[in-house]
Amino acid sequence: MIDVSIIYVNYFSSQEIEKSLLSFIKPLSRLRYEIIIADNSNNIKEFGNLQNITIANNIIFLQLNKNVGFGQGCNRAAEQAKGKYLFFLNPDTKYYKGTIKSLLSFYKKTENCGIVAPVLYNKDMSLQYSARKFPTILNQFFGRNSLLTKIDRKNDFTSNYMYQNEDYSKVLKVDWARAAAIIVDRKLFLQIGGFSPDYFMFAEDVDLSKRLYDKGLYTYLHPGLSVIHALGSTVNKSPIRKIWIHNKSLYIYFSKRYGLLQVLLFIAVIIRIVFISTIERIE
């Protein structure tokens, strides 16, 4: 029985994936594992670059033939996986400290666990606030890139929304965590339908946590494993496109849950796009 399936979705990130895998090989050594890389690049040369990764002899390469998006790439890999648990990792992640086994043990012992995630750090080794409250119309103006946060990063609304005042040396129960690094039981993931096909990229992790939450299964951050995350090193190559896709996904999330409020939500999202676009251009 394979303990864990490590899953990456590639979009012209073969070099980053190779570096990430190099960092995780040692902490994986005491586990029975497999590595699955789903390729969204639709590029023969890039797929060849992936196949040249020989860090481990148990790597499965899935050529998807078109860019199906992050969530669907993960789903395709999950369908092929044989591990009891799935560990989704972004290409721009690197092992820092701790053990994967500590998170797997916590998952096994915690009856209401739906997702467990490591604590993330930025490249400068500062803590990365990777968890959030579930989105509401109001709290979308208190996020990491919001106008209010740019004006006052320590305001109470943002601190609460982003769990900034919590003790990250302890296990934290949160609404949702960024899918840059999350672990979920494979059977549960498939039973719930995996990541929703409604999203091309962004908000699929929010949606997954919310569907699990509605079933009484929760998301936890666990300090037993720490991972460095470069935070958007791939998507930041096209910042305006990133802003558009992110807010489109957010709109989909809201519209699926609020029905008649779609028009109001759409206006709120458009205002948010204008704020963030203006801020990023100024910077």
pTM: 0.87
pLDDT given at position 283:
47
Model confidence pLDDT, tens digit, residues 126-165: 999 999 999 876 666 655 555 555 555 666 677 788 899 9
First to last CA, the chain: 50
Q: Pick the residue with more confidence: 125 or 137?
A: 125
pLDDT given at position 262:
58
Least confident of 93-102, 226-235, 250-259: 250-259
**Phi and psi angles of residue 143, each rounded to the nearest 5 degrees, phi first:** -75, 180
pLDDT given at position 256:
76
Topology of the domain covering 2-127+168-230: Spore Coat Polysaccharide Biosynthesis Protein SpsA; Chain A (3.90.550)
C-alpha angle 163-273-154 in degrees, rounded to nearest 5: 30
Where in the chain do CATH 3.90.550.10 domains reside? 2-127+168-230
Model confidence pLDDT, tens digit, residues 161-178: 889 999 999 999 999 999
